[in-house]
């Protein structure tokens, strides 16, 4: 009889072509499946809470897999981590009920997007923040956050090829915060966009923050931001923010 295992993952997405397995490309899923298949001596297929894009990071990605094994969760976790590249770590591993599915059972997901807002770039943390030199108006950005809360059609922020039946999503929370000592930098230099929803479309978070940044630069006003949402037209929204500032923080289950 197969056992269903749930794992929580942390990874640095730099250098990977996203979560999902792709031919001739190294991905988070392919690396994990290789390590788990080696430890468990059988072919392992992972299901994840969602697909992170190329270059996107995670502190709390969730996945599950089934296997026939007598190995303990501790042994599986330790063994897989000993094989994996240091940029991918299994933080937790536990047995879950047989019907659990990391994607379909998820209630909400929270993402954080980090922006370094100062004239001078940084060297060490450059892979984890979007550097914007011009000062951002945080009040305008927060007003945009208030507008996107609730249930809306987010087609204006949807990337092409998004696998979905509807572009309607419900955002539970969204805010712009000045971080305290994020990545060891001065709190006044780092801005974080935090968003939680019942699900996200392809590139949705990056397209939203790319448009909110336009408001922060005072290139669009709040009325224009509302028009962009209502138009359901991707061509009217802002640019897609670069992937390296985005982190999947955690996934919530019932």
Please tell me the distance from the alpha carbon of residue 13 to that of residue 33, in angstroms, as a whole number: 16
| 53 belongs to the catalytic site | yes
Strands 88-96 and 108-117: unpaired
Please tell me the distance from the alpha carbon of residue 143 to that of residue 212, in angstroms, as a whole number: 9
Say whether 130 sits in a helix, a strand or coil: strand
**Residue 52 carries which DSSP code?**
P
- CA–chain centroid gap for 78, Å, is 25
The closest of 132, 146, 118, 119 to 241, measured between CA atoms, is: 132
> Which residues have C-beta within 8 Å of that of residue 150, sequence separation ≥ 6?
170, 171
C-alpha neighbours within 13 Å on the C-beta side of residue 220: 20
Q: Token pair of 224, please?
A: 């224009």
Question: Annotated catalytic residue: which of 12, 53, 70, 189?
Answer: 53
Q: Token pair of 222, please?
A: 């709040």
Strands 190-197 and 108-117: antiparallel
Which residues are known catalytic residues? 53
């Amino acid at each position: 009889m197969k056992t269903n295992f749930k794992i929580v993952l942390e990874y640095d997405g730099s250098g990977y072509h996203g979560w999902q397995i792709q031919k001739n490309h190294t991905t988070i899923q392919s690396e994990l499946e290789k390590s788990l298949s080696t430890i468990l001596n059988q072919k392992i297929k992972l299901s994840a809470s969602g697909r992170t894009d190329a270059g996107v990071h995670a502190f709390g990605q969730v996945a599950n897999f089934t296997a026939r094994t007598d190995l303990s969760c501790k042994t599986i976790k330790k063994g897989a981590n000993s094989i994996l590249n240091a940029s991918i770590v299994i933080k937790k591993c536990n047995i879950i009920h047989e019907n659990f599915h990391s994607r379909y059972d998820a209630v909400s997901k929270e993402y954080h997007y980090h922006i370094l807002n100062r004239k001078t770039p940084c060297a060490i943390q450059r892979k984890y923040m979007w550097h914007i030199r011009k000062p951002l108006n945080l009040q305008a950005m927060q007003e945009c956050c208030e507008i996107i809360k609730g249930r809306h059609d987010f087609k204006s922020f949807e990337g092409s090829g998004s696998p979905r039946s509807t572009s309607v999503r419900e955002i539970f929370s969204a805010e712009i915060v000045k971080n305290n000592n994020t990545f060891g930098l001065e709190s006044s230099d780092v801005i974080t966009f935090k968003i939680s929803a019942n699900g996200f479309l392809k590139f949705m978070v990056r397209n939203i923050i790319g448009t909110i940044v336009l408001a922060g630069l005072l290139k669009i006003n709040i009325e224009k931001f509302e028009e962009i949402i209502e138009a359901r037209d991707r061509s009217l929204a802002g640019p897609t923010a670069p992937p390296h500032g985005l982190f999947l923080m955690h996934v919530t289950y019932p």
